[in-house]
Amino acid sequence: MESRILPKDKIEQFVDALIQDYTVIAPRDERSYGEIASASEWRPDGDRPAQSLKPFFLPERELLVRYAMRSSGIELVEPPSPHGMARVILGAPPCDVAALPVLDLVFQWDDEDSLYLERRESTVIVAMACDEPCTTCFCTSLGGSPAGTEGADLLLTGLDDAYHVAVISERGKALVERYSDLFEESVPERERQRAETQETLLAKMPRQVDIEGLDEALDFDDPVWETLTQQCLDCGICTFLCPTCHCFDIQDEGTPEQGERVRLWDACTFPGYTRAHAGQPRPVHYRRYRQRIMHKFRYYPENFGRTLCVGCGRCIEHCPVNIDLRQVLSLVRTR
Amino acid sequence: MTNIYKPYVMAIDSIRQETSDIKTFRLAFRDPAAHADFQFKAGQFGVFSVFGRGEAPFGIANSPTRSEYIECSVKRVGKVTDALHELNEGDEVGFRGPYGRPFPIEQMQGKNLVFVGGGIGMAPLRSLLWNCLDRRDQFGDITVVYGARSTADLVYQRELQEWSARKDVDMVLTVDPGGEDEQWSGEIGFVPTVLEKADPSPDNAMVITCGPPIMIKFVLVSLSKMGFAPEQIITTLEMKMKCGLGKCGRCNIGPAYVCKHGPVFSYEELMALPEEY
């Protein structure tokens, strides 16, 4: 793998140069990522934001089409293409970045979702290896790593006085070449430091979930589901903060004369999600929670070849009633 | 890339009141070029919309062999269907589609076909039935068992007469006990019972059934008694849907997306899915 070194005293210059040329999105505060207007707004050493990168590709509320009644009939106006908006995501941890290729699978499936995919295509991703694992995360159990490169164009790893910059993709390479005067060639000593940093970090991340054969072990008919998460409030926070949950609703906002058709986040944890005139297939909580787990760890792998979870642990960290996905998975499989 | 959520604008060409709460809408593409490019197969569905009220999925009720228009039969049950029922001829609606896996019509060639419908479940069957009738020599015997709660709840009444009058269709109509009126000359009884009485042979046959879940449930029991194997039975499922394109996640039954792997399933396929529909 090709790599470079970015001295820490050049990082501000790098970020400001990016801001000149791109919309730069970085961890802005503990709540969320956001656009930064100068290098000083970036918190490279701060905690991972509560919200993932998902809203930047699948916004909470997104215009699909605008309609207006004219004398000649209904006029439909499409939202401007997100193409060409040229964004850089900077300093996102590998779990958040790894979630994006997972989402791509469904948004590319047969009918390409242009709104999502054009955002993906116009965004360069500069990931940053974690320096300390969270207490709730378990990415290594799912094949990820605190220094994982899946979905990234560049991966920064913090060394003492510099960042090691692993060049993952052609798009990443183009980015380091564009600002080549800021980067130094890497040397074996730097590679050794990077490897050592990663090993130290990996050693702090025990495997917490046994994923091997989990899909087969998940049994729809197992009575364990019925009492597994009775404390759940069906609040949906786990789905909204999940970087891979992607279920949505489509609604019209406005009057018959004019308005907008929008896509809104939705969640399988809500009764209204499947309630239809014909009936409600998941009328009680445990059926909805079972669907969520089965979808992530059995159905998605069956359809797309990988789990719909990257082990970021946000659902554990933010659950108001302390439901721990790691425990849930081990309970349903040890029966 | 095109925006897959942008609907075609369709003008309502005509509206037929089928029953007290079901109307059939005949829709014409406003853009002739879009119409020229449009193709669908029997069993597929579309997402129809009333601007300002929202979208809802319905099966396409006309045959691909009669595709000058798109037709859908809509029962008034909620927000979007209420809004559709309020519309008049000439009004415009949205349409996205066609979506989903169609009936396996090629697999039906050379076979005897048994259509079993209940209530508004006749809509997707009508699409397939006309399709088969327009290619009549490619299929064996065609039997249709169709029932509704009462004579006033039977949809496509003019076509029911037309099919009944044909020598190449064995038409059995029924209404639930108490749903008959003085002129009624058809059967009186629930669809599964009437189906057993009609007793079509399972030899070289396929059944296509669509109707309320409770009817389907007992039709499957009857068919099994009559000797039909699960792979000979085809049905269509209804689940709440939004996108129709395998993105929004809501129509999942186990690993199946009803909008993509269905809405048409064989009973054999359904048996492999969790009972959550």
Question: Percent of chain B scored above 90 by pLDDT?
Answer: 96
pLDDT of B1: 81
Q: Is A261 on the interface with B (CB under 8 A)?
A: yes
Confidence check: pLDDT of A335 > 70:
no
Centre a 10 Å sphere on the Cβ of residue B2 and count the other Cβ atoms it contains: 9
Confidence check: pLDDT of A84 > 80:
no
Q: Is A259 on the interface with B (CB under 8 A)?
A: yes
Interface of A with B in 128-157 (CB under 8 A): none
- Residue A322 to chain B, least CA–CA distance (Å): 26
B162-211 per-position pLDDT tens digit: 999 999 999 999 999 999 999 999 999 999 999 999 999 999 999 999 99
pLDDT of B32: 94
CB-CB contact of A80 with A88 (8 Å): no
Interface of A with B in 283-322 (CB under 8 A): 287, 291, 294-295, 298-299, 302-303
C-alpha to C-alpha distance for A314 and A238, rounded to whole angstroms: 7
CATH architecture of B8-99: Beta Barrel (2.40)
Query: What DSSP element (H or E) covers A198?
Result: helix A188-203
Question: Percent of chain A scored above 90 by pLDDT?
Answer: 85
Q: Is A275 on the interface with B (CB under 8 A)?
A: yes
For CATH 3.40.50.80, list the domain ranges present in chain B: 105-236
The minimal CB distance from A67 to the residues B51, B239, B276 is found for B51
- Mutate one of A76, A257, A288, A302 to test the B interface: name it (highest B CB count within 10 A): A76
Q: Is A264 on the interface with B (CB under 8 A)?
A: no
pLDDT of B96: 97
Q: Is B71 on the interface with A (CB under 8 A)?
A: no
User: Each residue of A224-263: b (16+ CB within 10 Å) or e?
Assistant: ebeebbeebeeebbbbbbbbbbbbbbbbbebebeebbbbb
Lowest mean pLDDT across A140-144, B43-47, B135-139, B200-204: A140-144
pLDDT of B97: 96
Interface of B with A in 13-52 (CB under 8 A): 30, 49-52
C-alpha to C-alpha distance for B240 and B104, rounded to whole angstroms: 23
Residue predicted with more confidence, B11 or B239: B11
Average pLDDT estimate for B200-226: 95
- Mutate one of A70, A247, A258 to test the B interface: name it (highest B CB count within 10 A): A247
Split at pLDDT 50, 70, 90, the class of A287 is very high
pLDDT of A82: 74
For CATH 2.40.30.10, list the domain ranges present in chain B: 8-99
Residue of B nearest to A118 (CA): B1
A44-77 per-position pLDDT tens digit: 887 899 999 999 999 999 999 999 999 999 999 9
pLDDT of A2: 94
- Asked if A76's CB is within 8 angstroms of B252's CB, the reply is no
Residue of A nearest to B2 (CA): A114
The minimal CB distance from A247 to the residues B92, B249, B255 is found for B249
CB-CB contact of B67 with B83 (8 Å): no
Interface of B with A in 198-227 (CB under 8 A): 213
- Asked if A256's CB is within 8 angstroms of B53's CB, the reply is yes
B46-89 per-position pLDDT tens digit: 999 999 999 999 999 999 999 999 999 999 999 999 999 999 99
pLDDT of A277: 82
The chain-wide mean pLDDT, for chain A, equals 94
pLDDT of B269: 96
Average pLDDT estimate for B108-132: 97
C-alpha to C-alpha distance for B249 and A329, rounded to whole angstroms: 22
pLDDT of A47: 82
Q: Secondary structure of B187-230 in the HEC alphabet?
A: EECCHHHHHHHHCCCCCCEEEEEECCHHHHHHHHHHHHHHCCCH
CB-CB contact of A12 with A68 (8 Å): no
C-alpha to C-alpha distance for A59 and A36, rounded to whole angstroms: 18
- Asked if A252's CB is within 8 angstroms of B53's CB, the reply is yes
pLDDT of A278: 77
- Asked if A65's CB is within 8 angstroms of B247's CB, the reply is no
Q: Is B243 on the interface with A (CB under 8 A)?
A: yes
C-alpha to C-alpha distance for A166 and A190, rounded to whole angstroms: 11
Confidence check: pLDDT of A279 > 90:
no
The chain-wide mean pLDDT, for chain B, equals 96
- Mutate one of B47, B49, B51, B96 to test the A interface: name it (highest A CB count within 10 A): B51
Interface of A with B in 316-335 (CB under 8 A): none
C-alpha to C-alpha distance for A116 and A155, rounded to whole angstroms: 23
pTM: 0.94
- Asked if A257's CB is within 8 angstroms of B52's CB, the reply is yes
pLDDT of B100: 97
Tokens of residue B143, six digits? 């039997």
Q: Crossing angle, helix B191-198 and helix B213-226, to 10 degrees?
A: 20
pLDDT of A333: 83
- Asked if A281's CB is within 8 angstroms of B253's CB, the reply is yes
Backbone angles phi, psi at A52, to 5 degrees: -85, -165
- Asked if B245's CB is within 8 angstroms of A295's CB, the reply is no
pLDDT of A205: 85
CATH topology for B105-236 is Rossmann fold (3.40.50)
pLDDT of B4: 96
- Asked if A256's CB is within 8 angstroms of B52's CB, the reply is yes
B11 contacts on A by Cβ (under 8 Å): 73
pLDDT of B15: 98
